[in-house]
């Protein structure tokens, strides 16, 4: 399981558009839903949802950031079902919880196919909007983001299957912190977000390891249509520093990944909405390192209360 997965998921859970003032309430709320399903709108107090993800790894990047397609007879497919919820804390704060179930299928020419899975790493996140987008023509919305990923999944070193398909977590505590700057321009929404992640140390046998600091930059552009439907384009780039193993920095362990996503939201009513999206990791040298290149889709159903 890629260590970028948890940070990317946390980043998307934490970073999205902030909603504008009353004059633009419908357009901006729709755009926000197109980016992040677990985000409360200004008039919502609580929401719960179920999200399904599926992806296929069509290649990988090595430690020199060179892309290569899967070897003949090998492949990987990933499934995930996320139960998530959010609750408003005071006027401009909210807390979110995401509980994932992860399944992985891998195959090689020599071993054949293998399926495994289980509970993934649980994520708790929070957001405080100091300034709301649209409140001022010249001052953008500003939000502080924070999150904690709990190592509730099975770490790779604890996997029992030959291809480690039963590994469902990173195996370390992870803290995320970030800042979002966002603004709306009529039906258009623009978001820029930066995130930093730190992981706790792990000891396996005689080996002590600390994963490198991870930085994520996200940019999003959304457009709202009538009846609160919307589409959005999201581009994220995650870079992770070298891991420290037994006190020494290992230069071959750094990671990076570029991901492009397109998503949309459609409300069935004032309290029910459907959100879906597609994502793709471009198979271009230097856009990834020590990561698989994947493409896939997500689909979420959300119920909210005001």
**292 contacts 106 by C-beta, under 8 angstroms:** no
Helix or strand run (H / E) with residue 26: helix 25-35
The whole domain housing 191 covers: 4-305
Which tokens in the block code for residue 160?
Answer: 């029992």
- What is the DSSP code (8-state) at residue 186? T
CB atoms within 10 A of CB 33: 32
**220 contacts 197 by C-beta, under 8 angstroms:** no
DSSP reduced 3-state for 266: strand
DSSP reduced 3-state for 284: coil
Question: pLDDT (tens digit, 0 to 9) for every residue of the chain, 306 residues total?
Answer: 444 444 444 444 444 332 222 223 333 444 444 445 578 887 889 999 999 999 999 999 999 999 999 999 999 999 999 999 999 998 889 999 999 999 999 999 988 999 999 999 999 999 998 988 777 778 898 999 999 999 999 998 899 999 999 999 989 999 999 999 999 888 898 999 999 999 999 888 888 999 999 999 999 999 988 777 899 999 999 999 999 999 999 989 999 999 999 999 899 888 999 999 999 999 999 999 999 999 999 999 999 998
CA atoms within 13 A on the CB side of 54: 1
> Per DSSP, what are the bridge partners of residue 85?
48, 97
Q: How many domains does the chain have?
A: 1
Which position has the token pair 């408003």?
88
CATH code of the domain containing 176: 2.40.160.40
**255 contacts 4 by C-beta, under 8 angstroms:** yes
């Amino acid at each position: 399981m890629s260590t970028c997965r948890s940070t990317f998921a946390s980043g998307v859970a934490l970073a999205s558009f902030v909603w504008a003032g009353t004059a633009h309430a419908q357009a901006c709320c729709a755009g926000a839903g197109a980016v992040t399903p677990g985000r409360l709108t200004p008039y919502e107090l609580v929401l719960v949802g179920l999200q399904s993800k599926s992806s296929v790894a069509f290649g990988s990047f090595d430690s020199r950031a060179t892309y290569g397609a899967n070897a003949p007879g090998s492949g990987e497919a990933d499934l995930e079902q996320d139960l998530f919820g959010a609750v408003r804390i005071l006027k401009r704060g909210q807390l979110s919880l995401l509980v994932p179930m992860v399944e992985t299928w891998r195959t090689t020419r020599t071993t054949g196919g293998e399926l495994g899975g289980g509970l993934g790493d649980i994520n708790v996140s929070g957001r405080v909007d100091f300034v709301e987008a649209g409140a001022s023509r010249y001052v953008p919305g500003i939000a502080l983001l924070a999150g904690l990923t709990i190592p509730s999944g099975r770490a790779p070193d604890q996997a029992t299957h030959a291809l480690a398909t039963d590994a469902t977590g990173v195996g370390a505590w992870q803290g995320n912190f970030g800042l979002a700057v966002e603004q709306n321009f009529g039906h258009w929404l623009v978001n820029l977000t930066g995130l930093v992640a730190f992981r706790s140390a792990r000891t396996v046998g005689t080996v002590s390891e600390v994963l490198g600091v991870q930085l994520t930059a996200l940019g999003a552009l959304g457009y709202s249509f009538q009846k609160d439907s919307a589409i959005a384009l999201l581009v994220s780039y995650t870079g992770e520093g070298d891991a420290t193993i037994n006190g020494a920095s290992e230069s071959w362990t750094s990671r990076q990944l570029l991901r492009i996503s397109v998503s949309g939201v459609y409300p069935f009513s004032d309290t029910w909405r459907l959100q879906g999206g597609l994502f793709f990791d471009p198979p271009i040298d230097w856009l990834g390192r020590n990561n698989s290149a994947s493409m896939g889709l997500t689909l979420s159903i959300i119920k909210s209360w005001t």
